[in-house]
Amino acid sequence: MPTKVYIAPRVEILAQSGIESIPTEYVRPVEERQDLGDALEEVKKQIASGVPQIPVVDLKGFDSDDHETKMACVDSVKKAAEEWGVMHIANHGIPEDLLDKVREVGKKFFDQPIVQKEQYANDQASGKIQGYGSKLANNASGQLEWEDYFFHLIYPVDKTDLSIWPKDPSDYIEVTKQFAEHLRTVVSKMLSILSVGLELEEGKLEREIGGKEDLLMQLKINYYPKCPQPDLALGVEAHTDISSLSFILHNGVPGLQVYKENRWITAPCIPDTMIVHIGDTLEILSNGKYKSILHRGLVNKEKVRISWAIFCEPPKEKVVLRPLEELVTDETPAKFTPRTFQEHIERKLFKKKQAEEAAAAQAANGHKPNITN
């Protein structure tokens, strides 16, 4: 177990302190407050108003010997990837009792006293990003997110560092290993389906992003405490994922919002499904056919939300990302320039920094968020 204990501000401590108003560094600017509110209430409102919902796709048909049944599955995933960039997947093949164990060990870790969790604290300043943490105020606006988290690599096994995995609860490591093995199979299936959806051979996309040996699966357990002002805060700010695919498991409390057709749509919790996002990597490879969806995380006043986000990422330098040559024609020229995954990360961070600095400058000139709204 790591011996260094780094005491940093944790959102959990704030939430337990009995505050009625959140600190200003957690207050989002006015321009980010469209459809922002208590996640539990937003879901009810949107279902009642008939707002279009994130599609549900059934993966079972892809294993069928019947061609029509298999292609019906491909078409439903393709349609969701093209029109939404996100979907609920049913019949994914991971045993429900294993998913319950994943939820249980993750909750038990966060149920421990803060001092116990701090033994696993990360140190972003020194580049140690794996471990227990909270977002640092390292952007131009100084804004923070209403969440704590635990982040670590879970696959391939030979690249993981078990010394930083939680030792309590005692079955965390074994349960998480089993989950990673099962999920890796689902990752391959999703990539196969999406390859066929582009009229490519089944293994094409997986090979392009590293294959079994080099595709990484990073787990981030997000812990969102109850928030006294969910209409002003975000658990996670708006972003697209840099990954190829991202999978989300949750504890039955809603919070995910996706941006589509000029509004934010709050995802309901659908039993026996996981959520899958298309990430930037697949958007680039598909030459924009598959969409990397802008999304964010809401919080609420009544219930702690925990989500397990697994990011499937290519190796940083080994793979060059570019639109696949089969998808580039005179009618559909390449929309993206070649870059390594590391270069894509750096470009995205640079653009984000520019946007934050522009927003900070605007605020300094008198355009400040109305924190009483």
> Active site residue: 239, 316, 367, 368, which one?
239
What is d(CA 82, CA 356) in angstroms, rounded to the nearest whole number?
A: 29
Dihedral of the alpha carbons of 342, 127, 251, 80, in degrees to the nearest 10: -10
> Active site residue: 152, 220, 289, 291, which one?
220
Q: Where do we find the tokens 């149920």?
A: 111
Instruction: Give one word for 222, left, alpha or beta, with left for phi > 0 and alpha for psi -120 to 50.
Output: beta
The answer to whether 241 is a known catalytic residue is yes
The residues near 95 (Cβ < 8 Å, ≥ 6 apart) are: 182
What is d(CA 257, CA 297) in angstroms, rounded to the nearest whole number?
A: 6
Tokens of 127: 């580049």
Q: Where do we find the tokens 């990073």?
A: 218
What is d(CA 54, CA 258) in angstroms, rounded to the nearest whole number?
A: 9
> Active site residue: 152, 250, 260, 295, which one?
295
- Identify the bridge partners of residue 310 per DSSP, sorted by sequence position: 219, 247
The answer to whether 352 is a known catalytic residue is no
Task: State the CB neighbour count (10 A cutoff) for residue 159.
Answer: 13
The answer to whether 239 is a known catalytic residue is yes
Which amino acid is present at 217? M
> Active site residue: 38, 148, 241, 280, which one?
241
Closest CA to 121 of 280, 3, 270: 3
Active site amino acids: 220, 239, 241, 295
